[in-house]
Amino acid sequence: MGADDSHDSLFLRLEQLNEIGAALSSERDIDRLLEKILLAAKAITHADGGTLYRMTDARQALCFEIVRNDSLGIALGGTSGNPINYPDLPLQDEQGVPNNSMVAVFAALNDRTVNIADAYSEAGFDFSGTRKFDARSGYRSCSFLTVPMKNHEHEIIGVLQLINAINPETGAVIPFSLAAQHLAESLASQAAIALSNRLLISQLEALFESFIKLINLAIDEKSPYTGGHCQRVPALTMMIAEAVNATHAGPFADFTMSESDLYELKIAGLLHDCGKVTTPVHVVDKATKLQTLFDRIDLVDTRFEVLKRDVQIAALRKQLELRTSTDRAAETACWADCLKEMGVLDEERAFLHRANIGSEIMSQADQQRVRDIGTTRTWRNPVGVDADFLSAEEIENLAIRSGTLTAKERETINHHIVATNKMLEALPWPKHLQRVPEYAGGHHERMDGKGYPRGLTREQMSLQARMMGIADIFEALTAKDRPYKSGMKLSQAIDIMKKFSKNGHIDSELFEVFIRQGVHLRYAADFLDPAQIDQVG
């Protein structure tokens, strides 16, 4: 090979090194990053095989991360799906003596590149394991290039080992040249920084997600009925996102989400209800209409008992007044009236108990009956004053048409999304997470503009926010851990979602993907009780 050819080859390899550095800096997945490092090192040095070791967290050994050998067709670790069962390489022996006989450990301990022309004739290192491997496989391990990987803090974080440099023209195994060594060292330096940065970012992401889980735990501790919701909605949202990504026809054929986009949506899903930390727990957990810190239906029961006592006392007084004439018929009639009135009171008490549950839509007649009982009956309260049997606030609660929340309490619940928006918009989001507040803050908006808090229309919302809206509603319909209802059957929930799709509540095109891709079935299999899963028409 001439000088010009050699110069051109080196130039091309330097260009390749620069391209590799750019590719490494953009890789988010640790396994793929490690694999790219080794494959790039093999390519740039024309090596037949190689191993990438990482320093263990305790910094006591090197562990195998990626193993490749072209001649033998070996691909272990990384994205290969093949596990590596080789034992770690300890940095010291049992007596604490540095394990310098192993070339990879020597490079790590001494921060020194080791370039060996022929392992079989090299003195000072133990290649007995290599010889055994060669004997079993029929391979001939010859040239070795072992390069330590050092991060920006000058810590050794791994070792890059390349085996058998190949002459591109003849295919013969040759020693690694000094130029190849320098390229490998440059690559190892870039790779170490890329790996350290990725690990640091991963640690920060893990810390960030832990803070999110801490917020959800705080909500969970306030109410056991919302913690599951905070976990299930993001899971369902991601199922919908994956279904849209898998759609290659229709309105979403050209829409795709990258790994970074999916991570941003995942974070938004985890934070979509963070504002509930501000919602009073007695409103979140309101299982019955009269519940605040406790269910006040017991107080209503007490008043009925007082009324019944008063009826009995009045009857007894009448009977005593009849003692002078000893009119047995009049006494019997008096007591019959007493029993009749007590029966009416028992029936009214049972009615108010039913009204308090709030699981069904209340008729206007029943609402009026609540008001009649509350205002036409009186009872003598503990201070001896005759008062309406039900207070105005109790009448308002017991006459709730559906559910258990008054209009004011619904406003309190709905305020959680306002609090969520305030909390999320106050954070200094990095560029790749800037849309988290919009995604998380839009899950109560409607396609027809009748949602809250901003009254956005479909055209004003991102597709991701619309995904989260469907996930939030479907989870709420099927949730089995709510204090005020049991989880709906799958068919019933889907029927309601179909109505929402037609009346502008949710995105009809997105809901079609939801059904067509079987998202509802996958979610049901993971999160619903078997008794809830029925045939969907």
More confident residue, 200 or 470: 470
Q: Report d(CA 286, CA 86) in Å as an integer.
A: 57
pLDDT tens profile 377-424: 887 776 667 888 888 888 888 888 877 776 776 666 666 677 788 888
For CA atoms 154, 158, 163, 167, the dihedral sign is negative
Q: Which fold has domain 3-201?
A: Beta-Lactamase (3.30.450)
Per-residue pLDDT band at 104 (split at 50, 70, 90): very high
pLDDT at 9: 59
Q: Give per-residue pLDDT as tens, 249-308.
A: 889 999 999 988 999 999 999 888 877 776 666 555 555 655 555 456 667 677 777 777
Q: For 303-326, how does the pLDDT look when each residue is reduced to its tens digit (9 = 90+)?
A: 777 777 778 878 887 777 776 666
Share of the chain above pLDDT 90, in %: 42
**Residue 430, pLDDT score:** 87
**Average of per-residue pLDDT across 436-441:** 91
95 contact partners, CB below 8 Å, separation of at least 6? none
Q: Please tell me what DSSP assigns to residue 159.
A: E
* Class of domain 223-284+409-532 (CATH, top level): mainly alpha
Summarize pLDDT for 359-385 with one digit per residue, the tens: 667 889 988 998 998 888 887 776 667
Mean pLDDT of the chain: 84
- Rounded CA-CA distance 461/88 in Å is 52
Give the DSSP per-residue string, 258-297: -HHHHHHHHHHHHHTTGGGGGS-HHHHT--STTBSSSBTH
Its pTM surpasses 0.85: no
**Could you tell me which residues come within 8 angstroms of residue 152 by beta carbon, excluding any fewer than 6 positions away?**
193, 196
pLDDT at 302: 73
Domain boundaries, the chain: 3-201, 223-284+409-532, 297-404
Which stretch of DSSP H or E encloses residue 74?
A: strand 74-77
The CA–CA distances, whole Å, from 145 to 100, 284, 321, 414 equal 16, 64, 116, 64
Instruction: Please answer whether residues 104 and 148 qualify as being in contact, where contact means their C-beta atoms are separated by less than 8 angstroms.
Output: no
